[in-house]
Amino acid sequence: MPDSYQILGVTEKSSKTEIKSAFRRLAKQYHPDLNKTPGAVIKFRELNVAYNEVLQKAPDIPLEAVPEAPRTKVVWASWTSGMVWVATVWLSKEEALCGDQIKVKYRKRYGEGESSFRLNIPAGVTDYQFLECTHNEGHFNFIIAIA
């Protein structure tokens, strides 16, 4: 008989969330009310036994070890003359050192609505550094400001 981790399709390093997700997916696949093939009942029982065994062995992750949900920093770019947009990007010292990704929003010319794109800020940017990029609507200039 395969071991409990193989039955669930997880590893010994899997978190409880990953284990539960794998179990739910397989339980739906092999539940006797949903799967009338021969052997589905036996497979479903194996899944339950394996799930209980693996879940007991899975380590609890302390709350402080769970990474913070990623946030999206939004920067509004203003249209100047020609096809040039400008914006100031405020970053913390950590964000400037490690790099960041921001969402740049801008209003299209002639009242055609809003649009946006993602911009990767390279690691190691400095205060008052000038970044340029070209996007569908034209040229964007960014000034880095470190708080």
Any idea where the domains of the chain sit in the sequence?
Answer: 4-64, 73-146
DSSP at 84: E
Rounded to the nearest 5°, which phi and psi values hold at 36?
-95, 10
pTM for the complete prediction? 0.46
CB atoms within 10 A of CB 89: 22
Summarised one tens digit per residue, pLDDT across range 79-132 is 666 667 788 888 888 888 888 888 888 777 666 778 888 888 888 888 888 888
Give the architecture (CATH level 2) of 4-64. Answer: Orthogonal Bundle (1.10)
Confidence of residue 35 (pLDDT cuts 50, 70, 90): confident
> Which CATH superfamily hosts domain 73-146?
Urease metallochaperone UreE, N-terminal domain (2.60.260.20)
